[in-house]
Structure 1
Amino acid sequence: MSGVRQRAGTAVRATGRLLLGLLLVPVCVLGLVLFALTFLSSATFIGLIILPYAVRLNRGIAGLGRRLAAGWQGRPVPAAYVPIKGGVLARARAVLGDPMTWRDIGWIASHIVTGILLAGLGLGVWGTLGFDLSLPLWWSAPLPEHAVYLAGFALDSWPRVLLTIPAHFAAVAVAGSFVLPWLATAQAALIRAILATPERILLAERVAVLTETRTAALDAHGAELRRIERDLHDGAQARLVSIAMRLGVAERLLPADPARAAQLIAEARLSTEETMTELRDIIRGMYPPILGDRGLPGAVAALAARCPVPVTATVAGVDRLPAAVEAAAYFVIAEALTNVARHSAAAGAAVHVHGDPATLTLRVSDDGRGGADEASGTGLAGIRRRVAALDGRTDLSSPPGGPTTLTVELPCG
């Protein structure tokens, strides 16, 4: 019985997808007509100005088609467009030279036909079922010819009505439970075949992104090495040289002036303690020791406790992770909370960390004034570079007036 209900539910959902496809048909007609008019007028300056907007409209229509297919198949339909930017001629060349523009147009034109056809077939199944249910009324009505035919059988008596209609209804219902999902699958497959960016293009773009993030990671690594070298040279090394000089002088003064030698040794001891503190700070900048001692949950709790703004921290599903992932997560949260304290004017913030076998998700939010901008020097660009180096994803939502939410996903499989 549960299988019957499940198949019936699938048929109903498939009908909904087909009806959504039918509702897209008038929108496709509008998009196709506007593109045709602007394309034909692109020889004029006004046409060149309007053309990118018509293409943007078609991209939106194609996006609705992709969502329709993704909702039925359960996986997204990838799309990679050439950015529309530059002057009038550059924008026109970008949209006309983008293969996805013509894929969108091809699908829009084809969907005007297939959307009507597939939805018509789907509605035909339901129409047949409705006709079966209404047949007893037709048969019993005072019609001129008191006979109704169904599947070649004349319904001229109640026994035939009671035998033929249920059998025909059941046959149509069983067939429809298979036909309707097949029609929705065919619609989704057609959308994917036309609107999905070819795999070779996605692969080329992926290689370009990885090359860019690798270059950024190498640059960041080089900058970090230079910072460590500078800190060691200008700080710890200078202090060690000073300590060695004090101890050398104290060694020479010890027979003649023990008091002065003891003073220099005391100064060297204090300088040694300061050097050890500085070295710990440098090491903490490379890999925070708290990660090794308490793991990411303990490190997040420590960061939340040190933040001047009240922070609520929750960590779920996180055990020991690769060192690079833990360090990146630590520095992302540390930088984000630093931005909250310095720039947000927030009364409170929240840190949520969730892990699964494949992905570590970080979410830092605050109730401040919003309007965060990567170009304003708030460290967001550094966060994005650090995350991209691990092939992660960064998403920032910060409308003016707040709230601000930074979401980071780091692969950890």
Structure 2
Amino acid sequence: MIDLSTARRHVLRSARAAGYCAAVSAHGVVLVVLVPVLVYSAVLCLVGVGLLVLPLELRLLRRLADAERTRLGRWTATPTTPAGPHPRSTLMAVLSDPAGRRDLRWAPCMAVAGTLLGFIGAAIFLLPAAVLVLICLWWLFPADDPIRPLLNVPIDGWGSAVYAGAPQLLLSLLLARFGPPLIARLAAASNRRLLAPSAAAALAERVTALDHTRTGAIKAHGDELRRIERDLHDGTQARLVSLAMQLGLAERTLGSDPAAVGPLLTRAREGAEEAMAELRDLLRSVYPPVLANRGLAGALSAVVARCPVPATAHLDELGPVPAQVEVAVYFAITEALTNAAKHSHARSASVTLARVDDTLRAEIIDDGRGGAAEGGGTGLRGMRRRVEAVDGVLRVQSPLGGPTVIIVECPCAS
């Protein structure tokens, strides 16, 4: 007996592979046009015109390559980080980018092999439908048409059409079952080999990324120390100085006017309570006690419940998470929800927190007006520093008109 769930899983797997092949073929067709244009623009650099247009074309190539890197990550379930836009627009800066050289190596191969492999993979998946159509439309072909005799069996009715077409339909189903996944894996392996950095390049990029995050972590740590020092100096220290003055005045007044000591002690007690409240707020900004008491999931449930914007939370089982990662993710989500209410004017928001292998992934979405930028005073720069300080990644997608999507990914391996 055929297991329907297994058959459905095989069909979905082949359909997904065929979809990947179709996307590869579509990109290949675009590159069939773009590669000659790149060559022509490179020749025009001899007369100076290409120096103006070639960087624009290389940025377009980077977008295509990054789209393939993203698609590779989804298809192979292996994280493949896009290279991102070129940092500068000058031709020499673009050509000196190692990822740009990999893009140029990938483009002609994708234009030829990608177009061919992608087309074959998508066509094989559609082959059973084509055979079925031919069987059902046997009567459209003349009797002497070479298509009409299937397996050398004359087709003169439905019975002979089904009898002769069934083996071909079965063969096409087998090809559609195994062909697209095989071709998709071949195309993905080729694209990954061409687009992914070598071991040495990956190590160099990793060192550069670590140097960047280390610099950001040191700066974030310095900013945090200065903030704590400022809060202590301007708030708590001033309260304690006032408290000492009130107690000293009460001590001097005690012998001459005991009745006036009571109000002084009352003000001193109020000052001490205010100082303790400020110290508690300062400690919460360093490591919120709710994280120690309820864990990250419980703390975020409380944050979502108190959010001014109607918000929902989807929190999976997280397992053990390092304390520094908990703090970074907690403050990032808190800041994102604050932005949704204060700057984005959102009507609703959602928070999704899950652990995928050794990566903690948070996604915050709001339906506000969008347009969030790190230089816009929305706290995104501080969020990025906190996340990068724990070797994490923060991505912001906020087109004008919304929605705003903030993704935080932090390694949480013990």
TM-score scaled by length of structure 2: 0.74
Contact 2:340 2:349 in 1 (8 A): no
Query: Is residue 273 of structure 1 aligned with residue 248 of structure 2?
Result: no
Residue 381 (structure 2) aligns with: 381
Q: 1:363 and 2:338 equivalent? A: no
TM-superposed deviation, 1:44? 1.7
2:235 & 2:118 partners in 1: Cα distance?
Answer: 74
Structure 1 residue 59 and structure 2 residue 62: aligned? Answer: yes
Match of 1:85 in 2: 88
* Separation (CA, whole Å) in 2 of partners of 1:120 and 1:247: 86
Q: Is structure 2 residue 317 aligned with structure 1 residue 314?
A: no
Q: Deviation of residue 34 (structure 1)? A: 0.5
Query: In the TM superposition, what are the counterparts of 1:315-354 in structure 2 within 5 Å?
Result: 315-317=314-316, 321-344=321-344, 346=345, 348-354=347-353
Amino acid at match of 2:394: T
Which residue number corresponds to residue 286 of structure 2?
286
**Preserved contact between residue 239 and residue 275 of structure 1 (Cα < 8 Å):** yes
Equivalent residues of 2:102, 2:195 under 8 A apart: yes
Deviation at 1:93, TM superposition (A): 1.1
Shift of 1:210: 2.3
Give the alignment of 1:15-30 within 5 angstroms: 18=21, 21-30=24-33
CA shift for structure 1 position 220? 1.8
Larger mean CA deviation between 221-230 and 237-246 belongs to: 237-246
Is the aligned partner of 1:47 residue 2:46? no
1:78–1:197 Cα contact (<8 Å) kept: no
Is the contact made by 1:80 and 1:197 (CA closer than 8 Å) also made in structure 2?
Answer: no
Residues 38, 47 of structure 1: 8 Å contact kept: yes
Matched position secondary structure for 1:374: coil
1:214 aligns with 2:217: no
8 Å contact kept, 2:304–2:311: yes
Distance in 2, matches of 1:338 and 1:18, equals 42
Q: Paired residue for 2:113?
A: 114
| Cα offsets for 1:241-298 (capped at 9, x unmatched) | 4434443454454344322344433332232222222222222222233333444455
Distance 2:32 2:340 in 1: 48
Counterpart position of 1:38: 41
1:121-147 Cα shifts (integer Å, max 9, x gaps)? 7669959x959x88xx89x987699xx
Partners of 2:372 and 2:404 within 8 A in 1 = yes
TM-aligned CA deviation for residue 95 of structure 1: 3.2
8 Å Cα contact 1:247/1:265 also seen in 2: yes
Q: What code does the residue aligned with 2:353 have?
A: H
Q: Secondary structure at the match of 2:197?
A: coil
1:200 aligned onto 2:203: no
Matching residue of 1:188 = 188
After superposing the two structures, state which structure 1 stretch, 65-74 or 381-390, moved more: 65-74
Q: Tell me if structure 2 keeps the 8 A contact 1:365–1:406.
A: no
State the Cα distance separating 1:39 from its structure 2 match: 0.9
Change (3 A) 1:12 1:360: closer
Superposed counterparts of 1:195-274, under 5 Å: 195-274=195-274
Equivalent pairs counted in the alignment come to: 401
Q: SS where residue 85 of structure 1 aligns?
A: coil
Kept in 1, the 8 Å contact 2:103–2:195? The answer is yes
Deviations 1:153-186 (CA, angstroms, capped at 9, x unpaired): x879xxxx99999778867875785555434432
Distance 1:99 1:221, change over 3 A: closer
- Indicate the SS of the match to 1:361: strand
Tell me, in whole angstroms, the C-alpha distance in 1 between the residues paired with 2:201 and 2:16: 33
**RMSD over aligned Cα, in angstroms?**
4.6
User: 2:239·2:275 contact (CA, 8 Å) conserved in 1?
Assistant: yes
Question: Per the alignment, do residues 408 and 62 of structure 1 end up closer, same or farther by CA in structure 2, a change over 3 Å counting?
Answer: closer
- Give the gaps of 5 or more residues in structure 1: none
- Conservation of the 8 A alpha-carbon contact between 1:82 and 1:98: no
Alpha-carbon distance between aligned partners in 2 of 1:310 and 1:7, rounded to the nearest angstrom? 43
Q: Deviations over 1:79-126 (max 9, x none)?
A: 53671524xxxx221333344445434433334543566478766995
SS at match of 2:378: coil
Q: Which moved more, 1:12-21 or 1:267-276?
A: 12-21
Q: Identity, % of aligned pairs?
A: 39
Structure 2 residue matching 1:355: 3-state secondary structure: strand
| Secondary structure class of the residue paired with 2:83 | coil
Residue matched to 2:399: 399
CA contact (8 A) 2:391 2:411 kept: yes
Q: Provide closer, same or farther for how the CA distance between residues 349 and 254 of structure 1 changes in structure 2, counting only shifts above 3 A.
A: same
**Greater shift after overlay, 60-69 or 38-47?**
60-69
Gaps of 5+ in 2: 155-160
- Structure 1 residues 112 and 214: CA distance shift in structure 2, 3 A: closer
Matched to 2:364, the amino acid is R
Whichever of the two has the greater Rg, that structure is 1
8 Å contact kept, 1:239–1:271: yes
Q: Which residue of 2 aligns with 1:96?
A: 95
Higher mean displacement: 217-226 or 389-398: 389-398
Equivalent position SS for 1:391: coil
What secondary structure is seen at the aligned counterpart in 2 of 1:41? helix
